[in-house]
A and B are shown apart, each in its own frame.
Chain A
Amino acid sequence: MKRSNEPIFWSLFGAGGMLAALIGPALVFITGIAVPFGLIFKPDTMSYAHMLAFSQNWLGKIFVLAVIALFLWHAAHRIHIVLHDFGVHAVTLVRVLCYGGAFVGTVIAAYTLLKL
């Protein structure tokens, strides 16, 4: 029996899933609802100056990268399984598209955050 390489993808999936389960609803609420609707928070909460300062801080960079990259890897793993579940047999293509997409997203996020 060949040892599975699933642990790599499963670990990223699990980390992303846990992060999303713990703080996902709060993040979506802040960036997608409260700030655009002008609720609860001050109007300049997500202003350019604030977000730039946040993303120039090392902890801020790590946090933003962790959220984007882990969410992407979590989703890539599940979408890959869903396609298998729906009976899509192009296994290699599905893997390349799902994990490749997550990889590209991670690289773009990391590169952009490093430059800031």
Chain B
Amino acid sequence: MSARRPYVRSMDGWWKRDAYFISYMAREVTAVFVALYAIVLLFGVVRLSQGEAAFNGWLQYLTTPWMKVFHLIVLAVFCYHTWSWFNIMPKTMPIIFFGGKRLQPGTITGTGLVASVVACLAVLLIVRGMS
């Protein structure tokens, strides 16, 4: 008879074990707010199709204190999403050589963040120009 009796430890609460895991979970949980924001927009589109009164009701709803607080939280979460998205990007991209040298992780993350700032400013300017 074998004296072996390998012991398998539980994974319950594994994500609380390490600060690294907590930041990973924070990154993943941003998705809940992305979904909620998409649902708010979806409601806007549906209300838009129901006529002016319905759409104005939705616009009015956005100005309620709860929705203002909600959107401030969503904005903070989206900024964290942007940061974490480009932070993990060097791990998700193939190795790239640029002028014979390997592109460094910091360069990839930095380029992504700069691209995001430029894209956001472009959206703001376009919307300002359109209205």
Contact = CB atoms under 8 A, between A and B. Distances in A.
B18 interface: no
B42 A109 contact: yes
A113 B45 contact: yes
Interface string A64-83: 10011001101111110110
Contacts of B8: none
A33 B75 contact: yes
Contacts, number: 166
A41 interface: yes
Contacts of B71: 28, 31-33, 36
Contacts of A55: 45, 48
B81 A20 contact: yes
Interface residues on B, range: 35 or more
Contact of A41 (B12, B35, B41, B131): B131
Given A25-B79, A28-B74, A50 B131 contact: yes
A103 to B, nearest CB: 13
A17 to B, nearest CB: 6
Which secondary structure dominates chain A's binding surface?
helix
Given A28-B71, A48-B56, A105 B39 contact: yes
Interface of A: 16-18, 20-33, 35-37, 40-42, 44-46, 48, 50-52, 54-55, 64, 67-68, 71-72, 74-79, 81-82, 85-87, 105, 108-109, 112-113, 115-116
14 contacts: A17-B85, A20-B81, A21-B116, A22-B119, A28-B71, A32-B37, A55-B48, A67-B38, A67-B41, A68-B38, A71-B38, A77-B31, A113-B45, A115-B49
Interface of B: 11-12, 15, 25, 28-32, 34-35, 37-42, 44-46, 48-49, 52, 55-56, 59, 62-63, 67-68, 70-72, 74-75, 78-79, 81-82, 85-86, 112, 115-116, 119-121, 123-124, 127-128, 130-131
